[in-house]
């Protein structure tokens, strides 16, 4: 069950990453729609932040998944130090 939940979270975060990348690419390659957003730098910054946040979340999910696979069921993943 926990593996399915972690996979669902990873999928959610990956979808947000895909959205951010697509939007950034759209703003940088297409002039249509840019006139609707007077603060293009601000909009791009929001999507870069979305990309950063969700990439970090996926990294955490991968650490949790790896730790769950290598530890006892009741051991918390944060208790182990990674080097």
pLDDT of res. 67: 85
**Res. 72 pLDDT band, cuts 50 70 90:** low
pLDDT of res. 76: 55
C-alpha to C-alpha distances, 37 to 23, 34, 45, 77, 82, nearest whole angstrom? 13, 5, 13, 43, 43
Q: Is pLDDT at 26 greater than 70 in this prediction?
A: yes
pLDDT of res. 69: 78
Residues 36-71: tens digit of each pLDDT: 667 888 989 999 999 999 999 999 999 988 888 776
DSSP conformational letter for 39: -
Q: Is pLDDT at 83 greater than 50 in this prediction?
A: no
44 Cβ partners below 8 Å, 6+ apart?
24, 27, 28
Structure tokens at 22: 């697509």
Phi, psi of 10 (to 5 degrees): -60, -40
What are the domain boundaries of the chain?
Answer: 2-68
């Amino acid at each position: 069950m926990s593996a399915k939940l972690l996979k669902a979270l990873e999928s959610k975060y990956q979808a947000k990453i895909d959205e951010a990348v697509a939007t950034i690419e759209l703003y940088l390659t297409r002039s249509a729609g840019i006139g609707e957003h007077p603060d293009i730098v601000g909009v791009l910054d929001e999507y870069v932040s979305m990309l950063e946040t969700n990439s970090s979340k996926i990294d955490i999910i991968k650490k949790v998944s790896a730790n769950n696979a290598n530890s006892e069921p009741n051991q918390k993943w944060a208790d182990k130090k990674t080097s």
